[in-house]
Chain A
């Protein structure tokens, strides 16, 4: 009886811990790091984390002023440092992805809408800068019909000069719940039919793109 109780307490504790904002941010950060394309910006989560960081900073300052045991303060400080690192790294990983797939992101609305307002501004500015750099160095020196930055020549019907994120790379993921065929895109129904909960799976990114966007799996 006693052990049963303590496991249920532990379970409560686990679920509580796994739903804190820091844990959510860690999840978003991991997903962002492993996904080949840019994911939806977690605007409200980032906002909450920013506020929590501010609060924690104030707390640490207050503790220092109150002469609380330095060890305790340094533990709080360490926790704060970790959260700050997570936030910075999350934003950084996103910017680096934007840098990498600039032209693709700007020409596909789906990707562009996943960016925060500041990221969109950054992306636009970078595209102008990189565009004019490429123009000046290469394109202006080529014959007229070959000067497009997005197309190989004017005879190309599609934009065939744009680096595109490779959605067929493999990722490691874990389902948060049992996934049936309905959770996946119908077009991949031949490749993937189900996924067990909590089972580490090595899979092609595009097959799990939909459940990832719906928050049903996490990338590891």
Chain B
């Protein structure tokens, strides 16, 4: 049946968990693209046939016309499926910039493996656009993702940070694995750099 492969491609996308990325299904994707080319060849062949029979291509409604129409519609359907596939993936990728990080290297390897090279490229460019917006406005938007509840939070130190780091109201010995109760504003910069994690619950 025509356009079934396109449907499978979209199904592949829809069956995945929301916001999670599946590996780019290159194989199926290319099959759908090939089908498009095939439809187009047959469409042209039918139109040529009509021209050879010197019937009016625009007005005639014969079997060849409807054959061509079927190919045209199948092609469009395939195009929509392909675009939906790539576009929805692009939306998930845009979300990574918000939820995971703005640099490609910050993305965990499991995610990077699932991106096509054009998608990696797109992620980089999109993050750059976001960053330049933030620079223009002068506000970092990828911090403060959840409403603040308390000015103080509990954190665990993940890396050796040296002793005697000056916080705004005290100096603390931030040894690795030690836990502290700090001002959120003090801790945020270290959390962003991966030196601390917030303990919740």
| Interface-lining segment among A3-11, A77-85, A174-182, A187-195 | A77-85
Residues of A within 8 A of B119 (CB): 133, 137
For residue B184, CB closer than 8 A to chain A, the reply is yes
For residue B158, CB closer than 8 A to chain A, the reply is no
Neighbour of A85 across the interface among B75, B82, B148, CB < 8 A: B148
Query: In the complex, which residue of chain B has the Cβ closest to the Cβ of A153?
Result: B76
Docked CA distance A143–B98 (Å): 36
Residues of B within 8 A of A158 (CB): none
Contact with B along A92-103 (1 / 0, CB 8 A): 100110011000
Q: Is the interface of B mostly helix, strand, loop or mixed?
A: helix
Q: A64-B168, A136-B118, A138-B79 known; A82 and B147 CB under 8 Å?
A: yes
Q: Does B185 lie within 8 Å of A77, measured CB to CB?
A: yes
Residues of chain A from 127 to 141 with CB closer than 8 A to chain B in the complex: 129-130, 133-134, 136-138, 141
Q: Does A92 lie within 8 Å of B141, measured CB to CB?
A: yes
Interface size, chain B (Cβ < 8 Å) = 46
For residue B121, CB closer than 8 A to chain A, the reply is yes
Q: Does A137 lie within 8 Å of B86, measured CB to CB?
A: yes
Residues of A within 8 A of B183 (CB): 74, 77
For residue B1, CB closer than 8 A to chain A, the reply is no
Residues of B within 8 A of A220 (CB): none
Residues of B within 8 A of A70 (CB): 169
Docked CA distance A146–B85 (Å): 17
Q: Does B118 lie within 8 Å of A122, measured CB to CB?
A: no
Residue of A74, A133, A142, A163 contacting most chain B CB atoms (<10 Å): A133
For residue B179, CB closer than 8 A to chain A, the reply is no
Q: Does A137 lie within 8 Å of B147, measured CB to CB?
A: no
Docked CA distance A154–B69 (Å): 14
Q: Does B36 lie within 8 Å of A146, measured CB to CB?
A: yes
Q: Tell me how far the C-beta of B24 lies from the nearest C-beta in chain A, rounded to whole angstroms.
A: 9
Q: Does B130 lie within 8 Å of A122, measured CB to CB?
A: yes
Docked CA distance A92–B140 (Å): 10
Docked CA distance A142–B35 (Å): 10
Q: Tell me how far the C-beta of B74 lies from the nearest C-beta in chain A, rounded to whole angstroms.
A: 11
Q: Does A118 lie within 8 Å of B86, measured CB to CB?
A: no
For residue B48, CB closer than 8 A to chain A, the reply is no
Residues of A within 8 A of B129 (CB): 122, 125-126, 129
Query: In the complex, which residue of chain B has the Cβ closest to the Cβ of A57?
Result: B185
Q: Does B144 lie within 8 Å of A88, measured CB to CB?
A: yes
For residue B125, CB closer than 8 A to chain A, the reply is yes
Q: A64-B168, A137-B86, A146-B79 known; A129 and B98 CB under 8 Å?
A: no
Q: A81-B184, A88-B139, A122-B133 known; A130 and B122 CB under 8 Å?
A: yes
Residues of chain B from 127 to 147 with CB closer than 8 A to chain A in the complex: 129-130, 132-133, 136-141, 143-144, 147
Neighbour of A88 across the interface among B121, B133, B143, CB < 8 A: B143
Residues of A within 8 A of B144 (CB): 81, 84-85, 88-89
Apart from A146-B40, A153-B76, list 17 A-B contacts with CB within 8 A. Answer: A74-B183, A85-B147, A88-B139, A88-B141, A88-B144, A95-B133, A130-B90, A133-B119, A137-B118, A138-B33, A141-B36, A142-B79, A152-B76, A152-B79, A152-B80, A153-B72, A153-B79
Query: In the complex, which residue of chain A has the Cβ closest to the Cβ of B72?
Result: A153
Neighbour of B126 across the interface among A87, A118, A129, A136, CB < 8 A: A129
Neighbour of A161 across the interface among B83, B130, B136, CB < 8 A: B83
For residue B116, CB closer than 8 A to chain A, the reply is yes
Q: A134-B86, A143-B75 known; A118 and B147 CB under 8 Å?
A: no
Residues of B within 8 A of A96 (CB): 98
A sample of 7 cross-chain residue pairs with beta-carbon separation below 8 angstroms, ordered by A number, consists of: A64-B169, A77-B151, A89-B147, A91-B139, A118-B137, A138-B86, A153-B72
